Amino acid sequence: MSVSERGVIHSLPVPVDLRKLVSPASIAVVGASQDTKRVGGEIVLNLKAGGFRGDVFPVNPKYSEICGYSCFPGVTEIGKSADMAVVAVNAELVPNVIRQCGKAGISIAVVLSSGFGEAGASGIKLQRDLDDAIAESGVRIVGPNCIGLMNVRRHMYCGFGPGFRNHGLSKGPVAMVTQSGGYGFSVVGLCNHQGIGFSQIISTGNECDLSTADLIDYILDDDEIKVVVTYIEGVKDGRRLLEVGQKALACGKPILCWKVGNSVVARNAVASHTANLSAPYELFKTAFSGSGYIEIREIEDLVDIARGFLGGRIPRGRRVAVVTTSGGSGVLMADRCDEARLTLPEPPPALLESIRSMLPPHSAVTNPVDMTAQVGDDAASFNRVVKAFVDSPAYDQILVRYGAVQGVNAPAWATGMVAMAQATQKPVLVAWSRVPDTSSKALQILEEGGVPWFITPGRTVTAAAALGDFHCRQTKLQQSVVGPDEWFSKVPINLPPRTDALGEHASKQIIAAYGIPVVNERLFNLAEIENLEQSPFAFPLVVKIESPDIAHKTEAGAVITGIRSLPELRQAAGKVAASAKKHFPDAVIEGVLVQQTCSGMELILGGFVDDCFGPVVILGLGGIHAEVLKDVTRRFAPVSRASAREMIFELRAAPLFSGYRGMPPLDVEALADAIFRLAHLISHHKDQIREIDINPLFIGPAGTGVIAADALVIANIEQKAQ
């Protein structure tokens, strides 16, 4: 974690106290204007009209006063140092303004101006000037190309656009960091309408300095914030995003996340929007599933999952009881639970007995329980059944849908629910299933009692699934913490200088150095093969040309299999050499590779270094499975053996490993070990190696191990020093 002290970030060029950003005592508005149709005028107006209680220092040599605030010709002339500056001048002027801020002792600036990285060649040059100004001045930047920030708790409406004109927002324990201000603030408005209040909202635009991850990192330390929301188009440092997500998971605060810019057409649009280009979506998904990010698609997901977490209860497992007076809702919730890998165990015999005695004759006494409409307004009976499930150790969460919630007895029912929910550590979630304002009294009781409620049965399960999943991720994160002695120690490797792709034999030596079993093979020259008096290995053999310049040997006729005698071996060696020379006359030939034949189920095990997320390990079945069917699984390297094992069972083809259709179970332990070793190899040597592919890696029955039959290592030609 890069935060050693609350709110002070050290991983960045200059540590910065982000309290000055989020809760400044004073704000300088550079490029302020008396014309409120201009951004610089609108900001001052919004600060004023929103009721910001700190000092506001408009800066513009043209004016002496704006909105009743004294105006200053420059930031250095304010007389005292502002906590924070908001910059709304033309892009070309921004670098100089930042330098001035530095001189004036302002440590952080929010740059609204656009025309930087998102605006083509001239903008990219300007962004570089801005980078220089940041480095020289020590001023830390949010933006450029953002629309500002809001602190509802402090009545600070510090930005421009329609989102800042709504001063009636109610505050709540949710914060947002968004790369798109327009989208983000419309979300805030819509959520407020559905009863979810935000405390802080920060738009980050191009993120040339402070990033989404930096800001979330700070926000997670705020005790009043329970849920974080973010909209991400791309990030520069994927590992930092992961780290912050793991911090969120550890402290029990979800980060609800819109990840966009994933399709080809959307990535092009991002380039001209915030220029936050980055890694493939699959890697973000890998990061999210291993940390506290929960991907959302709609306002409703945000509202429902936030409500779930704001209840303050995280379940201890995936076992759910569904209690309804509507069979239809019960059936629907059962399906949704199943999709979300929540289970609905049958009530244990004693519980069954006790519920049966409480229910009318046509009720379905199982899970989901359907008490039918016959229970009517008898809230006490309904709640007795709920209580029986709450008290049963067979369930981790209780989902409730009571049809008579709109009746006159609804407040009494709600009061009963609150009492039950407050007396247990399990989440008790209510599917409201009515228009909220027709039954406001009961709803208000639930709200005030901290019982999460949801408009529909389906949305109730959305929240339950997020809670259940969060618990499982927390458990996995705890389990993945292993002592340093369980990690693989770094082994030096030798890469030939100035080479991109290595030959097959050279590649295998690299993976063998990390203890991954490779097929028996030896490199010969033609003369050596002519003089062989016995086969180096048991027949049948395979002969291949060894050359870093021939990627597709089979297509070049440079592979011969099924060799069963010395004469066949000699003939094959000559043949592959001739064929290689014919197809690739300029290729460097390093010899003829003679291998023992091996077999098993074909896997692909690989590693690569992503610019954003760093080293990654990837596993799939061979043949068409990885390439056509995309049945692959990924982790950031290095991984523990436990995570490696998880990867195997995440494949859609996983049943094959456990002994499919009378086949023996495969050697999962050996495979997990190979994944573990490859992940350490790519991780230790990420500066020297760009990519490793073991294809195929054969896996045999349990106890017989795995073996790499072919491998390719691609070096990083820049080959940075280790």
Task: Answer for the pair 178, 184: CB distance below 8 angstroms, yes or no.
Answer: yes
- Answer left, alpha or beta for residue 659, where phi above 0 means left and psi between -120 and 50 means alpha: left
Among 189, 411, 517, 700, binds a copy of itself (CB under 8 A): 189
Quick one: which segment of 295-303, 311-319, 497-505, 585-593 binds a copy of itself (CB under 8 A)? 295-303
By CB under 8 A, what part of segment 448-507 binds a copy of itself?
A: 455-459
Nearer to a copy of itself, 24 or 159 (CB): 159
Answer yes or no whether residue 92 interacts with a copy of itself by CB under 8 A. Answer: no
Nearest to 159 by CA among 197, 202, 218, 127: 202
Nearer to a copy of itself, 337 or 618 (CB): 337
By CB under 8 A, what part of segment 123-152 binds a copy of itself?
A: 147
By CB under 8 A, what part of segment 323-342 binds a copy of itself?
A: 325-332, 334-335, 337-339
Instruction: Determine the 3-state secondary structure of 683 from DSSP.
Output: helix
By CB under 8 A, what part of segment 565-604 binds a copy of itself?
A: none
Among 11, 70, 354, 366, binds a copy of itself (CB under 8 A): 366
Strand intervals (E) in 46-139: 55-59, 65-66, 69-70, 84-87, 108-111
By CB under 8 A, what part of segment 650-709 binds a copy of itself?
A: 652-653, 655-656, 660-662
- Answer left, alpha or beta for residue 218, where phi above 0 means left and psi between -120 and 50 means alpha: alpha
Answer yes or no whether residue 179 interacts with a copy of itself by CB under 8 A. Answer: yes
Residue for token pair 């911090």: 247
Among 7, 24, 117, 181, binds a copy of itself (CB under 8 A): 181
Nearest-approach distance from CB 351 to a copy of itself, in angstroms: 17
Nearer to a copy of itself, 33 or 367 (CB): 367
Provide the residue type at 265 as one letter. V
Quick one: which segment of 217-225, 359-367, 386-394, 682-690 binds a copy of itself (CB under 8 A)? 359-367
Nearest-approach distance from CB 275 to a copy of itself, in angstroms: 10
Nearest to 49 by CA among 162, 156, 152: 156
Quick one: which segment of 178-186, 482-490, 557-565, 567-575 binds a copy of itself (CB under 8 A)? 178-186
Nearest-approach distance from CB 147 to a copy of itself, in angstroms: 7
Nearest-approach distance from CB 365 to a copy of itself, in angstroms: 9
Q: Which residues of 386-416 are buried (b: 16+ CB within 10 A; e: fewer)?
A: bbbbbebeebbbbbbbbbbbebebbbbbbbb
Nearer to a copy of itself, 268 or 444 (CB): 268
Nearest to 28 by CA among 92, 73, 93: 73
Nearest-approach distance from CB 190 to a copy of itself, in angstroms: 6
Residue for token pair 């030896």: 522
3-state per-residue secondary structure call for 221-282 = CCCCCCEEEEEECCCCCHHHHHHHHHHHHHCCCCEEEEECCCCHHHHHHHHCCCCCCCCCHH
- Answer left, alpha or beta for residue 661, where phi above 0 means left and psi between -120 and 50 means alpha: left
Answer yes or no whether residue 642 interacts with a copy of itself by CB under 8 A. Answer: no
Give CA 363 to chain center in angstroms. Answer: 43
By CB under 8 A, what part of segment 528-567 binds a copy of itself?
A: 555
Quick one: which segment of 94-102, 111-119, 466-474, 712-720 binds a copy of itself (CB under 8 A)? 111-119
By CB under 8 A, what part of segment 230-289 binds a copy of itself?
A: 231, 233, 258, 260-266, 268-270, 272-274
Instruction: Count interface residues toward a copy of itself (CB under 8 A).
Output: 89
Where helices occur in 449-585 by DSSP H, the ranges are 457-480, 504-513, 526-530, 566-583
Nearest-approach distance from CB 382 to a copy of itself, in angstroms: 14
By CB under 8 A, what part of segment 382-441 binds a copy of itself?
A: 403-404, 406-407, 433-435
By CB under 8 A, what part of segment 4-43 binds a copy of itself?
A: 37
Nearest-approach distance from CB 626 to a copy of itself, in angstroms: 12
Nearest-approach distance from CB 257 to a copy of itself, in angstroms: 13
Nearest-approach distance from CB 136 to a copy of itself, in angstroms: 27
Answer yes or no whether residue 356 interacts with a copy of itself by CB under 8 A. Answer: no
By CB under 8 A, what part of segment 605-624 binds a copy of itself?
A: 624
Nearest-approach distance from CB 206 to a copy of itself, in angstroms: 11
Quick one: which segment of 28-36, 177-185, 487-495, 498-506 binds a copy of itself (CB under 8 A)? 177-185
Provide the residue type at 335 as one letter. D
CA dist 146 and 367 (Å) reads 50
Where helices occur in 561-651 by DSSP H, the ranges are 566-583, 624-627, 641-650
String of DSSP letters for 136-181: HH--EEE-SS--EEEEGGGTEEEE-SGGGG-TTPPP-SEEEEES-H
- For the chain, report the end-to-end CA distance as a whole number of angstroms: 23
Q: Which residues of 490-501 are buried (b: 16+ CB within 10 A; e: fewer)?
A: eeebebeeebeb
Nearest-approach distance from CB 475 to a copy of itself, in angstroms: 24
Provide the residue type at 597 as one letter. T
Nearest-approach distance from CB 344 to a copy of itself, in angstroms: 5
